Amino acid sequence: MIEVVINRLPNSKLSPNARVHWRTRHKAGSEDIEEVTPIVWVAKEGIKDLPYKKAHISIEWVAKDRRKRDMDNLLSASKYFIDSLRHGGVILDDDAENVSYSLAYRVSKEEGPQTIIRIEPA
C-alpha cells in the first residue's frame, strides 16, 4: 500500500459548484499536479511492481472545521490529486475499468486539514 498525505483539502476553485473562469480552474489543477506529483514520488519509493494496472484508491478528507461538505464535490475537486498518481507512476490509468474508490470524511482539529490517499493493487 502507498499512502500520500496532502496537508490541505482540495482547492475550492476545482469544485463543480465553483463559478470560476476555465483558465482559473485549469491553473488551479495544474498547480495541484505540480505540488502533489513530487509527494507521490517520495511515497512510492521502494515499492515494486509499479504502476498498478488495477488499483483501489481510498481517499480520506480530514477537515479542521465543522462546515458541511458534499462528498461528490470533494471527489471532483480531488481529480488532479488522482491525476498526480498517474503522473507519478503509481497507477497506469485512472479510468473506471482500472480504478475503484472508497471515500471517507471526518473532522479533527488536531489533524486537519488533510487529504489522505491510500493506493493498493486490486
Q: What is the CATH number of the domain that holds 78?
A: 3.30.1330.70
State yes or no: pLDDT of 81 exceeds 90: yes
Per-residue pLDDT at 112: 86
Asked if residue 28 has pLDDT above 90, the reply is yes
For the chain, the average pLDDT equals: 94
Distances (CA, A) of 15 to 35, 48, 113: 18, 34, 17
Domain that holds residue 51: 2-121
The pLDDT of 6-24, averaged and rounded, is 93
- The runs of H, that is alpha helices, within the chain are 22-44, 71-77, 79-87
Query: Strand 114-121 relative to strand 2-6: parallel, antiparallel, unpaired?
Result: antiparallel
- If one counts the domains in the chain, the total is 1
> Average pLDDT in the 82-90 region?
95
Specify the pTM.
Answer: 0.93
